[in-house]
Amino acid sequence: MTATAARVVAESAGVTRRFGTFTAVSDVSMRVAEGEIVGLIGANGAGKTTLIRILLGLLAPTAGSVSLFEQIPSRNTRQRLGYVPQSLGLYTDLTVTENLRFTARAFGSSVPAALSDELSAVKDRLVGEIGLGLQRQLAFVAALAHSPELLVLDEPTSGVDPLARSRLWDTIHEQADRGVGVLVTTHYMQEADQCDRLVIMVAGRVAAAGTVSEIIGGRTAVQVDTEAWDEAFHALTEAQLPVLLAGRCVRVPDASVDDVERALARAGVSAHVTAVPSTLEETLITLGRA
Amino acid sequence: MWAMVMKEFQELRRDRRTMAMLIALPLLLLVVFGYAANFNVSSIPTNTYGPQAQKVADGLKDPFDVRTVDPGGSRNDAETAVRDNKVDVAIVSQSSGKPTALIDGSSLFAAQSAVSAFAMSGGQVETDVLYNPELKTSWVMVPALAGLILTFIGVIVTSLGLVRERQEGTLEQLAVMPFRPFDVIGGKIAPYFVFAAVDMVLVTVLGVILFDVPFNGSVVVFALGSLLFLLVLVGLGGLISSLSQNAGQAIQLALFVMLPSIMFSGMIFPLAAMPWTIRWIGYVMPLTYFINIAQGVMLRGAPFTALWLSFLVLAVYAVVVFTAAVLRLRRDLAPNVKAQPRQDVAAKTAVAA
Amino acid sequence: MSFGLSEVSVRFGATTALDHITFAAPRGSVSAVVGGDGAGKTTLLGCLTGAIEPDSGRVERPAKRLLGVMPSTSGTWRDLTVDENIDFVARAYGITGEDLRAKRGRLVAKAGLDRARDRLARQLSGGMRQKLGFVLALLHGPTLLVLDEPTTGVDPVSRVELWGMISEAAAAGAAVAMATTYLDEAERATTVLVLDSGQALASGTAGEVIGSLPGTISVVDRPADPRRAWRRGRVYHEWHPGGDSTSAQIDSDVDLEDTVIAQMLRRREHAST
């Protein structure tokens, strides 16, 4: 990973975007430097997609400024960036090879010579027929073909099996190691863990930013160990506390040990209640409820 | 830009429905215009009545095609024959004096041909144009237009109905709810039927008011014919939507079905002027039969007994189309061994959208 | 009475979508089936609901009226409001009057949709739409709930809320069969079935599946064999089929994802030999 001298490949400064009376993005400042992986986390509707579109130059901000490679986003900057939207941006009625040729022609690059074994096996099949995992692989290859300096990935692994997901992230890390800046959105906690830094958006604003441990801070969750996990779960839900089940283990983010003990006592459930460090997911829940 | 051109060609190559439209349609139109576009009716069905019937018949040449010679027939018989669309011209003769040709004004082009033929014969025969004495095009077109407008609305709008469920992914939901396939189709089609019926009334009333088109026959017969025709249209819409995966395909199929309707229903080019090799297409179009009913009732005041064949054809059409639509939909809704193995991927990735 | 599949196989032409799969969904628990796209999850759920007839094997399912389904596309009608969606489903199942009002009130509040009742389904955020779809599936009190990837693409907060609703339904006595790609959710279920290309890789409780790990996992900074390693956070996990690695690196905290990936790798390696 790079030190403070790293070049910034994408940056937003105080960006706000309103649609009529609705404020989609509010005063968001963030940056992606070369060689780092920044994870953009938040609910759908939190403003992630709008922010990405502004960064890409597809949408103008109502206030604030945006820069790509230290310039205003334009047709020139498009040449240096690779974007994989949520819907993949592939033509399902063309074959794998035809899709790659189209992208190559559009960017003035060449079709990658070496495809993975799995992709080579289906290079003459229609994209609509090859399955989601391979489609996501293909979308990556297409986005990387012109050697971009910035990769923007919107939910690149949604719906794919764990092995394929980890392989896609191998590619992401490879690119970051080579100096490409990566901005990625994800709903998988385990993937958020792999990012160098996270930007957490709630209702259009940045609720938290930094490394995973910085974001978790010193937050704790309450862990409930008991045989009667079923009843404990109900008692806590009745008390309007957010409850997570991890195996037989009941965890309550965003509550104090006292609150939990009281709720359990009211339902007559006996349990061993302790405060433990929060996980990233639990921190997100706390931030979301704020 | 070259990249875009290549890509569009490649995608087009695989889209068979659009390719069919791009290649087959112009060819079809050319053939049709070549043969069907003909305002000259080459053969006018004619009967002769009265004492001089045979003499008159012998004196008639092309384009008149004498069907029946009835020396004992009266003017009443002649009028009935024309009203019931058995012939386009019925010539009534007395023992002496000029015979009178009763001409069906609702068969516009035949009537025009007949009138000019008689005029050229130097006034040997009196002409009396029934039902549309001034041979106004609007009087003939309005009933036909009512049918055409409804064909557009009924088929396109209905066909989009089911396609929406398929695109939204809610068709699976319907499959496990306590609905029978008939419930689903019927429920989907009913609102459009109601709207189409209201439209039908509006168009007819406006046509009558604005263009002074007469309404000489029974409203009940007209209403019945209209409802039956609408049933066929919405049923066709339902069938098209059960055959289409998305709105684009549905509209393409609907256009495919409607274009022949316009060309071959007799509203623009008279069926009688077409050679049999393509005239049969007109007899397959439901619109042809509706036009017969509409013009028959509005202009000729024809009774149900004269139009029963058209009613029958429309009824059969409705049954066939609905049955086909229900069967096709049942395949999508009921236990199905050959279900689609690959889920629509776009639907999956759109979950987060 | 348990619902489920027993030695079910389904073939589509030359492809085997399910190969002798047994999956039980007993009442009162959440039974998860995990796997990537194309693994056979949707086919399995399709057999459970009756949309797909298996080529062999047996399926136990309740009467159609006692079945609740939530497809992967949320199963909501986009051009109707939240209330209208509920009205439609209620009407279809004959739920009216006081009964409907009580059910609607309770479920809408639980789903956090009470302030969005007049909003069109297509204007809801992804998470809220999924919650509405769940309410619609649950409205008529089914004994078997079949959920196809109810939380895919949904934000973490809504996911947890959905999970709350799902486990509550199970606790109330329904059998819940759920397909998911999120292994953390699968770990919370009572039982898990891991599918890969139609084959069962492992099944049982989360603990049993984790215990079925073939070999060991080590946590390293740089893997010896990249084909058997994958990233987890800042480090790599590497799989050793024979358990041949220095004990210092062995991961004692093996979770479901480790086991699933290891099983998939083993299957791929066997297939290519």
pLDDT digits (tens, 9 = 90+) for A210-226: 998 899 888 888 988 88
String of DSSP letters for B183-241:
HHHHHHHHHHHHHHHHHHHHHHHHHHHHH-----S-HHHHHHHHHHHHHHHHHHHHHHH
In this structure, the answer to whether residues A192 and A239 fall within a common structural domain is: no
What averages of pLDDT result for each successive group of 10 residues across chain C (273 residues)? Answer: 89 90 93 89 92 92 92 88 93 91 90 89 87 94 94 79 87 92 85 92 90 87 87 83 63 83 89 73
Residues of B with CB under 8 A from a CB of C: 168-170, 172-173, 175-179, 335-339, 341-343, 345, 347-353
Of the candidates B208, B201, B220, B227, which has an alpha carbon nearest to the alpha carbon of residue B304? B220
- Assess whether B253 and B288 both reside in one domain: yes
Residues B219 and B97 placed together within one structural domain of the fold:
no
Strands B126-130 and A22-33: unpaired
pLDDT in tens, B203-258: 889 888 988 888 888 889 999 999 999 889 888 888 888 888 888 888 888 888 88
Token pair 């293909």 is at which residue?
A138
Q: pLDDT category, B290, cuts 50, 70, 90?
A: very high
Question: Alpha carbon of B78 to those of A75, A171, B42, B102, B121: distances in Å?
Answer: 80, 89, 22, 7, 21
> Nearest CA to B9 among A110, A101, C36, A10?
A101
Contacts of B175 in chain C (CB under 8 A): 49, 51
Choose one of A187, A215, A243: the last residue of a domain.
A215
B223/B336 same-domain check: yes
Whether A190 and A221 map to the same domain: the answer is no
- End-to-end CA distance of chain A: give it in Å, rounded: 33
| Six-digit token string for C182 | 């999120």
Q: Which amino acid is at B149?
A: I
Q: Which pLDDT belongs to residue A280?
A: 86
Indicate whether B211 and B263 sit together in one domain: yes
In a domain, A258, yes or no: yes
Same domain (yes/no): A168, A269: no
Q: Is the pLDDT of residue A145 over 60?
A: yes
Q: From CA C120, how far away is CA C128, in angstroms rounded?
A: 11
Walk across the sheet containing A22-33 and list its strands.
Answer: A22-33, A8-19, A63-68
User: Measured between beta carbons, which residues in chain B are less than 8 angstroms from residue C49?
Assistant: 175-176
Task: For residue B316, give Cα distances in angstroms to B179, B181, B313, C139, C227.
Answer: 26, 21, 5, 42, 66
- Let me know: does C179 contact C31? Beta carbons within 8 Å: no
Average pLDDT over residues A63-85: 88
Number of folded domains that form chain B: 3
Q: How confident is the model at residue B341, as a pLDDT?
A: 42
Nearest to A204 by CA among A4, A9, A2, A12: A12
Report the alpha-carbon distance of residue A176 to residue A189 in Å, rounded: 19
What are the structure tokens assigned to C60, written together? 């136990």
- Interface residues from chain B to A (CB-CB < 8 Å): 2-4, 6-7, 10-11, 14-15, 342, 345-346, 348-350, 352-353
Structure tokens at C1: 């009475």
Contacts of A187 in chain C (CB under 8 A): 153-156, 159
Average pLDDT rounded to a whole number, residues A19-43:
91
Average pLDDT, chain B: 82
Instruction: Establish if A114 belongs to a structural domain.
Output: yes
How far A102 CA sits from the closest chain B CA (Å)? 6
Q: How many CB atoms lie within 10 A of CB C110?
A: 18
At B95-125, the pLDDT tens digits run: 878 888 888 888 888 888 888 888 888 778 8
Distance from CA of C225 to the nearest CA of A (A): 14
Strands C191-196 and C30-34: parallel
Rounded Cα–Cα distance for residues C241 and C228 (Å): 9
For residue B172, how far is the Cα from the chain centroid? 36
Please check whether residues A178 and A231 belong to one and the same domain.
no
Three-class SS of B42-108 = CCEEEEEECCCHHHHHHHCCCCEEEEEEECCCCHHHHHHHHHCCCCCEEEECCCCCCCEEEEECCCH
The answer to the question of residue A3 being in a domain is: no
CA–CA min distance B244, chain C (Å)? 19
Give the pLDDT band of residue B349 (cuts 50, 70, 90): very low
Count of domains for chain A: 2
CA distance B3 to chain A (A): 5
Q: In C, which residues are within 8 Å of B351 by CB distance?
A: 72-74, 126, 130, 149, 152-154
B176·C50 Cβ contact <8 A: yes
Q: Residue A194 in contact with residue A37, Cβ under 8 Å? A: yes
Q: In whole angstroms, what is the distance from residue A203 CA to residue A47 CA?
A: 7
Q: Do B168 and C77 touch (CB under 8 A)?
A: yes
pLDDT interval class at B352 (50, 70, 90): very low
Neighbours of chain A (3+ CB pairs under 8 A): B, C
pTM above 0.90, yes or no: no
What average pLDDT does this structure show over B132-140? 85
Q: Which of B130, B156, B184 is the last residue of a domain?
A: B130
Token pair, residue C193, equals 């079935």
- The CA distance from A269 to A121, in Å, is 58
The better pLDDT of the pair B143, A33 is held by: A33
C178 three-state secondary structure: strand
Q: How far apart are CA C93 and CA A200, in angstroms?
A: 42
Q: What is the DSSP letter of A7?
A: P
Instruction: Report the DSSP beta bridge partners of residue A224.
Output: A250, A273
The H or E element spanning position C80 is none
Instruction: Name chain A contacts of C127, Cβ cutoff 8 Å.
Output: 43-44
The C-alpha atoms of residue B156 and residue B153 are separated, in whole angstroms, by 6
With contact defined as beta carbons under 8 Å apart, do C177 and C147 qualify?
yes
- The answer to whether the CB atoms of B352 and C130 lie below 8 A apart is no
The answer, for A102 touching chain B at a CB cutoff of 8 Å, is yes
With DSSP H G I counted as helix, E B as strand and the rest as coil, what are the percentages for chain C, rounded to 5?
Answer: 40, 30, 35
A226 with A198, same domain?
A: no
C-alpha to C-alpha distance for B229 and B307, rounded to whole angstroms: 14
Which residues 120-159 in chain C show a CB within 8 A of chain B? Answer: 126, 130, 136, 149, 152-154
Q: Is residue A2 part of a domain?
A: no
With 90 as the cut, is the pLDDT of residue A249 above it?
Answer: no
Q: Are C152 and A159 in contact (CB under 8 A)?
A: yes
- Which chain B residue shows the shortest CA-CA distance from C68? B176
Instruction: Answer yes or no: do B169 and C55 touch at CB < 8 A.
Output: no
Judge: domain C3-75+129-204, CATH 3.40.50.300. yes
Pairwise CA distance, residues B280 & B274, whole Å:
9
Q: Is C231 exposed, middle or buried (0-12, 13-18, 19+ CB in 10 A)?
A: buried
Q: What is the pLDDT of residue C8?
A: 94
Give the model's pLDDT for residue C179.
Answer: 95
Examine residue A74 and state whether it is found in any structural domain, yes or no: yes
Give the CA distances from residue C204 to residues B177, C18, C33, C88, C195, in Å, rounded to whole numbers and listed in that order: 31, 18, 11, 38, 12
CB distance A283 to A215 below 8 Å: yes
Q: Which chains touch C (3 or more CB pairs under 8 A)?
A: A, B
Contact A109/B at CB under 8 A: no
pLDDT tens string B150-209: 888 888 888 887 787 777 777 777 878 888 877 887 888 888 888 888 988 888 898 889
Q: Which of C12, C15, C51 sits opposite B172 (nearest CB)?
A: C51
Secondary element (H or E) of residue C43: helix C41-49
Spatial separation of the C-alpha atoms in residues A25 and C222, rounded to whole Å = 40
For residues C262 and C214, what is the distance between their CA atoms, to the nearest angstrom? 7
Check whether residue A201 and residue A221 sit in a common domain.
no
**Domain limits, CATH 3.40.50.300, in chain C:** 3-75+129-204
Q: Which two tokens stand for residue A142?
A: 């297409």
ipTM of model over 0.85: no
β-partners of residue A13 are A65
Token look-up 């819409």 returns B237
Residue range of the domain that includes B102 = 44-130
Is A1 inside any structural domain?
no
Q: CA of A137, closest CA in chain C: separation in Å?
A: 13
CATH number at residue A271: 3.30.70.790
Same domain, A275 and A192: no
d(CA A229, CA A251): 10
- CA–CA gap between residue B199 and residue B193 (Å, rounded): 10
pLDDT at res. A183? 96
- Give B353's contacts in chain A (Cβ within 8 Å): 44, 86-87
- Find the CB nearest B350 among A87, A105, A131: A87
CATH code for the domain of A128: 3.40.50.300
Is residue A150 located within the same domain as residue A246?
Answer: no
Other Cβ atoms closer than 10 A to B279: 17
Residues B217 and B266 in one domain: yes
Element holding C116 (H helix, E strand): none
The span from the CA of A166 to the CA of C226, in Å, is 12
| pLDDT number for residue A219 | 87
Cα–Cα separations (whole angstroms), residue B141 to A32, B107, B299: 69, 11, 11
Which pLDDT score is estimated for B345?
39
* A244: alpha, beta or left? (left if phi > 0; alpha if psi -120 to 50): beta
Q: What is the span of the domain harbouring residue A94?
A: 8-215
Identify whether residues A176 and A157 lie together within a single domain: yes
CA distance C31 to B332: 27
Confidence class for position A4, pLDDT limits 50, 70, 90: low
Q: What is the pLDDT of residues B316-340, one digit of tens each?
A: 999 999 888 888 877 777 654 444 4
Q: Are residues A149 and A270 in the same domain?
A: no
Identify whether the C-beta of residue C180 lies closer than 8 Å to the C-beta of residue C151: yes
Question: Which residue, B201, B214, B37, is CA-closest to B138?
Answer: B214
Q: What is the pLDDT of residue C244?
A: 58
Contact assessment for residue A201 and residue A51, using Cβ atoms and an 8 Å cutoff: yes
Give the ranges where A145-289 is alpha helix by DSSP (H): 162-177, 189-192, 212-216, 229-238, 257-266, 280-289
Q: How far apart are CA C202 and CA C208, in angstroms?
A: 9
Is the previous residue joined to B63 through a cis bond, with omega within 30 degrees of 0?
A: yes
Q: Are residues A35 and A141 in the same domain?
A: yes
CB contact under 8 A, B11 and A159: no
- What pLDDT is recorded for position B334? 64
b/e burial code for range A236-248 (CB count within 10 A of at least 16 → b) = bbebebbbbbeee
What is the DSSP code string of C211-222? Answer: HT-SSEEEEESS
| E-state strands within chain A | 8-19, 22-33, 37-42, 63-68, 81-84, 150-154, 181-185, 197-202, 205-210, 220-225, 244-246, 249-252, 272-277
